[in-house]
């Protein structure tokens, strides 16, 4: 996405004053533009993109060379440039129309966003409406509940008693919980909306802001109200564009960033261009085709120059006055090579890209409308990757929210040396709670960032916190919300002993370095307490040593072995003098404009120590439906599954068994420190022929961090990982997830045409976006963590279980369909060029084409139509067979259908078919004269017509699934061609072709040739198919002619 161009940042742009510099208008700096084209740049930009495709550029160059041959004496140019340029233009037009339709949808979406209205508090303190794209820095906006924020703004006032509001940031960070925001100005809320215009009367302030940054979690600024001292502004005072106001009727804010300077746009990045494996193979095949074309031209060139040239140039009826070399021409050896190279240029299929784009659109439609993929369906954003789904070798999966539902429930706690299973209602018997139990649950109700809505519901920053606070409520420790009195904030907790109030003195937010969060509160007696919770390794290292710690550590391991997520809670009393000293530094760090986060983190580390561990929590994250079955099917398909998770190794291991990622028969190696001592031995052992053994690797983020700094360890890791059925990476960061995908994608070799594995990454959260974009195929799941992963993905699904139909069914079908039309397209053009090559030797090496130009130009058009139905609908197996026999997936995973062997077989087939057409044509007309007419136009038109009919037959031979579209496309191809012949022959556009088609079609001998050609072609195809497909298992032969294949095929019907 991109906005309109933003002005460069000047020093004064770091300051926003009210009301001194409230702008009247600054144009439309807040314009959202996700579209690629405008009406003015569509043609040049689209042409630039299309000519990046090698085949299009090739045919443009060939057209220029043809034009040079027409207009200059450099070489003999027998093919008109317009014939190739016209076909290229037609195919590029198809691609251009597809691109235009896609971009029109983006334009429509942009217009809907830019035309939204927002209320503005104008110069006259009256409320007016303005379009989003007219919002500027310094504008005061009024946003109502459930409305989206149009630009980054500091919230000034809220319609709430405590000056707080809440926002949903799912579109920014993928998190579905609400985040609290605090108004920067204190004051009494207006009674109703009629007072909104006067809400900032007689108020002057100045805001200093940092330069535009990418971080959506931090902001450094300050607000100076009149002559008062500056007060700090943090991210809790800022509403970001894209977030949605919730749980408050309205708020007022002043815009500080617009356009490209907003956080959401600073974080937006271009979706990486992913070149499909199939296109890589096609590009290589096209270079091979060019090489073959050059060799064919060279062979014919040498035959002419060294064998036939002297003879032909001595013929008096060709050169009555003797041959005279044209002035300014190239040497014969080079000139005739160029002539023949241009003559054979159609060996490169100009229509392949257009055919592929049309078929890809159909594949995306079928995926989106497959009812098996869930009620909400699936989304295919990257249509060019639909056939990549059938070639995946590695799957990289997140755990939480992907393999599990991200629905948390507190199942057990460890307090005072005992486990206390909670159950859903938290019942723990009637015994009165001990002091340790009270301290534990009090810590749970205080150490969090949960907010309570008006309806009593909780909004938490993570599902874990929601589960903990809800469980505490069920235990009789109810968090009743936060209140504000002046500059002071309070927690209210209701227990069986009454309502307790705690003043919030400081909140140390969680970060991935400390892996803890904490609060400092003051109770009604004036005592200060630290309440802290976090990951076990960090918590135990900062805790006060006591005799219980060993038991607590063991409880963490026990809970992890049951597949639970664990947190350790602790607290300590802080002496007033120490607190006062620490709190002074804390308040100073809060107002710092530079290094604020670092300073606050250092202060958190300083206070979060010497606490007493109160207990351990065990939270269950429920598994997604049919995860085990899906993983088992994927593994049986030969796909290796890697799980990349932030959980500790023990938890990941248990989840691995419950999801069937791991099996009891596997030999599991655990690597925690990064020594890799077992790797070499295990790699050699696996390569030593112990066939029945399967290996799995569990490795921590710490070990991976050490590995990435050592090339030898990377090689050791990859060597062992490749022999493992499963790799589980634990405690990994988003960056490490992307590194693992990139490592496998670029450095692992597999047995396929390209040698590189196709990697697929699947996740549901914002932290999964880097690995989704690093993989060749990114799949997002619409989960509880928001839609950011789904929005950044190539394909989006509802649940993990839908990977099975997406890959094993749609992926298999799409890959084999794409390979059929790719091989067919090369085959089709090869037959045509071979016929032209044969004729060259019969035409005195003059470079004359066998087919008249206007007739020849129709070849790619009419002969591309029938393969469309096969390319879209062909199903070699039913859905039921593909799901029950996942090993059939090997065709795509191993790249069998575009292997060099099958490509060679297709070339042999093209050679055989061209010889059949040549033999029949020359047998019927040995002198190349049609029924005594004696002109090569009639002979060429006859051969071309037999070729077109033979191409239609070839499509029928390749088609396994017949439906209405199969017959329609065949009828469109043959019917369209014969209609063209009738019209073209009746017009006098080319005198030499006048009435030629009618004369041909009315001759019985022509139809005899057609019948003979078809019979011989069928015989050739059966023999070649037996030779090149005999290696397939009998069970893997196509399922009839389509009746069976169409059963349960969903949208492919």
779-808 burial, b for 16+ CB within 10 Å, e for fewer? bbbbbbbbbbbbbbbbbbbbbbbbbbbbbb
What is the biggest distance separating any 2 CA atoms in the chain, rounded to whole angstroms? 123
Q: Which residues contact 886 (CB under 8 A, 6 or more apart)?
A: 633, 634, 636, 637, 808
Q: Is 768 tagged catalytic?
A: no
* Cα 144 off chain centre by: 34
Short-list 872, 842, 659, 644, CA closest to 739: 644
Short-list 817, 1029, 1037, CA closest to 909: 1029
374: left (phi over 0), alpha (psi -120 to 50) or beta: left
Cβ(948)–Cβ(1014) below 8 Å: no
Decide the pairing of beta strands 795-797 and 777-781: parallel
DSSP 161: T
Q: How many CB atoms lie within 10 A of CB 661?
A: 28
Structure tokens at 81: 């440039």
Q: What is the DSSP string of 182-205?
A: E-SS--PPPSSGGGGGGTTTT--E
Report, in angstroms and rounded to the nearest whole number, the Rg of the chain calculated over CA atoms.
Answer: 36
Laid out side by side, the sheet with 612-623 consists of 418-419, 404-415, 612-623, 565-574, 528-534, 516-522, 498-508, 488-495, 478-485
Q: What is the DSSP string of 584-600?
A: HHHHHHHT-SSSHHHHH
Q: Which residues contact 1003 (CB under 8 A, 6 or more apart)?
A: 930, 931
Short-list 608, 698, 620, 710, CA closest to 653: 698
Short-list 950, 985, 921, 937, CA closest to 863: 950
- Cα distance between residue 536 and residue 515, in whole Å: 9
Q: What is the DSSP string of 250-263?
A: EEEEEEEE-GGGSH
- List the catalytic residue out of 133, 173, 301, 398: 398
Q: Which residues contact 306 (CB under 8 A, 6 or more apart)?
A: none
Q: How many helices (H) and strands (E) does the chain have?
A: 35, 35
Structure tokens at 1052: 């492919």
Q: Which residues are catalytic?
A: 398
């Amino acid at each position: 996405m991109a906005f309109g161009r933003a002005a460069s940042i000047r020093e004064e742009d770091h300051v926003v004053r009210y009301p001194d510099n409230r702008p009247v208008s600054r144009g439309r700096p807040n314009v959202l533009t996700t579209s690629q084209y405008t009406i003015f740049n569509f043609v040049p930009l689209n042409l630039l993109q299309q000519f990046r495709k090698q085949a299009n550029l090739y045919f443009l160059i060939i057209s220029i060379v043809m034009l040079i041959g027409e207009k200059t004496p450099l070489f003999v140019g027998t093919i008109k440039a317009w014939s190739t340029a016209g076909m290229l233009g037609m195919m590029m037009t198809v691609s251009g129309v597809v691109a235009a339709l896609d971009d029109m949808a983006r334009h429509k979406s942009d217009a809907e966003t830019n035309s939204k209205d927002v209320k503005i508090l104008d110069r006259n303190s009256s409320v007016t409406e303005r379009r989003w794209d007219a919002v500027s820095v310094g504008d005061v906006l009024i946003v109502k509940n459930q409305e989206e924020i149009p630009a980054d703004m500091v919230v000034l006032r809220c319609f709430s008693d405590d000056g707080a509001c809440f926002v949903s940031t799912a579109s920014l960070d993928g998190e579905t919980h609400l985040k609290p925001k605090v108004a920067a100005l204190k004051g009494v809320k207006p009674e109703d909306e009629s007072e909104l215009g006067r809400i900032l009367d007689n108020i002057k302030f100045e805001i200093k802001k940092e330069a535009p940054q990418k971080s959506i979690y931090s902001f450094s600024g300050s607000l100076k109200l009149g002559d008062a001292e500056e007060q700090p502004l943090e991210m809790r005072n800022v509403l970001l564009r894209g977030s949605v106001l919730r749980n408050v009727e309205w708020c007022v804010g002043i815009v500080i960033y617009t356009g490209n300077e907003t956080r959401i746009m600073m974080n937006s990045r271009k979706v990486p261009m992913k070149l499909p494996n199939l296109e890589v193979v096609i590009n290589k095949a096209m270079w091979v085709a060019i090489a073959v074309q050059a060799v064919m031209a060279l062979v014919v060139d040498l035959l002419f120059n060294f064998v036939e040239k002297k003879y032909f140039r001595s013929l008096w009826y060709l050169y009555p006055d003797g041959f005279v070399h044209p002035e300014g021409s190239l040497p014969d050896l080079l000139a005739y090579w160029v002539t023949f190279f241009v003559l054979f240029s159609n060996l490169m299929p100009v229509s392949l890209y257009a055919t592929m784009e049309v078929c890809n659109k159909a594949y995306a439609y079928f995926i989106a409308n497959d009812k098996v993929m869930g009620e909400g369906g699936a989304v295919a954003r990257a249509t060019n990757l639909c056939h990549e789904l059938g070639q995946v070798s590695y799957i990289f999966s997140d755990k939480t929210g992907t393999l599990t539902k991200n629905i948390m429930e507190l199942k057990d706690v460890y307090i005072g040396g005992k486990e206390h299973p909670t159950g859903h209602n938290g019942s723990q018997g009637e015994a009165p709670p001990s002091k340790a139990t009270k301290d534990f649950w009090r810590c749970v109700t205080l150490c969090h960032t949960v907010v309570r809505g008006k309806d009593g519901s909780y909004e938490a920053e993570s599902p874990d916190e929601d589960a903990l606070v809800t469980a505490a409520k069920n235990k009789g420790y109810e968090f009743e919300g936060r209140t504000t009195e002046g500059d002071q904030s309070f927690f209210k907790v209701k227990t069986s002993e009454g309502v307790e109030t705690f003043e919030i003195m400081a909140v140390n937010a969680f970060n991935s370095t400390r892996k803890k969060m904490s609060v400092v509160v003051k109770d009604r007696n004036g005592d200060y307490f630290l309440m802290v919770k976090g990951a076990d390794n960090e918590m135990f290292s900062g805790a006060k040593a006591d005799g219980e710690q060993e038991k607590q550590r063991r409880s963490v391991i026990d809970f992890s072995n049951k597949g639970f997520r664990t947190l350790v809670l602790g607290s300590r009393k802080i002496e007033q003098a120490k607190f006062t000293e620490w709190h002074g530094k804390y308040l100073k760090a809060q107002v710092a404009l530079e290094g604020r986060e670092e300073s606050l983190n250092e202060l958190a580390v300083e206070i979060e120590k010497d606490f007493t561990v109160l207990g351990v929590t065990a939270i269950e994250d429920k598994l997604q439906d049919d995860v085990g079955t899906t993983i088992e099917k994927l593994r049986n398909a030969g796909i290796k599954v890697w799980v990349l998770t932030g959980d500790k190794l023990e938890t990941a291991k248990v989840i691995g068994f419950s999801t069937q990622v791991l099996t009891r028969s596997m030999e599991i190696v655990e690597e925690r420190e990064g020594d890799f001592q077992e790797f070499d031995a295990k790699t050699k052992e696996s390569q030593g022929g112990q066939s029945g053994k399967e290996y799995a690797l569990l490795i921590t983020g710490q070990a991976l961090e050490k590995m990435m700094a050592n090339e030898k360890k990377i090689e050791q890791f990859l060597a062992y990982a490749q022999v493992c059925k499963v790799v589980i990476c634990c405690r990994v960061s988003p960056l490490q997830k992307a590194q693992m995908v990139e490592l496998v994608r670029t450095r692992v070799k597999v047995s396929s045409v390209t040698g590189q594995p196709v990697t697929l990454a699947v996740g549901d959260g914002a932290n999964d976006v880097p690995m989704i974009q690093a993989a060749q195929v990114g799949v997002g799941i619409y989960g509880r963590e928001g839609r950011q992963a789904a929005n950044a993905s190539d394909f989006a699904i509802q649940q993990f279980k839908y990977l099975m139909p997406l890959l094993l069914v749609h992926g298999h079908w799409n890959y084999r369909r794409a390979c059929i039309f790719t091989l067919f397209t090369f085959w089709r053009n090869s037959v045509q060029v071979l016929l032209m090559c044969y004729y060259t030797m019969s035409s005195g090496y003059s470079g004359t084409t066998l087919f008249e130009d206007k007739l020849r130009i129709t070849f790619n058009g009419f002969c591309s139509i029938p393969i469309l139905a096969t390319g879209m609908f062909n199903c070699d197996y039913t859905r039921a067979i593909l799901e029950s026999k996942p090993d059939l997936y090997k065709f795509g995973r191993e790249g069998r259908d575009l292997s060099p062997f099958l490509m060679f077989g297709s070339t042999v087939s093209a050679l055989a078919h061209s010889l059949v057409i040549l033999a029949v044509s020359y047998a019927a007309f040995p002198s190349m004269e049609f029924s005594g007419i004696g002109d090569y136009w009639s002979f060429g038109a006859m051969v071309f017509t037999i070729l077109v009919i033979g191409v239609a037959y070839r499509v029928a031979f390749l088609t396994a699934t017949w439906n209405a579209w199969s017959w329609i496309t065949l009828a469109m191809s043959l019917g369209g061609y014969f209609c063209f012949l009738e019209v073209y022959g009746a017009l006098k556009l080319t005198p030499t072709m006048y009435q030629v088609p009618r004369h041909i079609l009315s001759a019985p001998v022509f139809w005899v040739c057609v019948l003979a050609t078809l019979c011989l072609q069928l015989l050739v195809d059966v023999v070649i198919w037996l030779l090149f497909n005999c290696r397939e298992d009998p069970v893997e032969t196509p399922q009839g002619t389509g009746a069976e294949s169409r059963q349960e095929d969903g949208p492919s019907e």
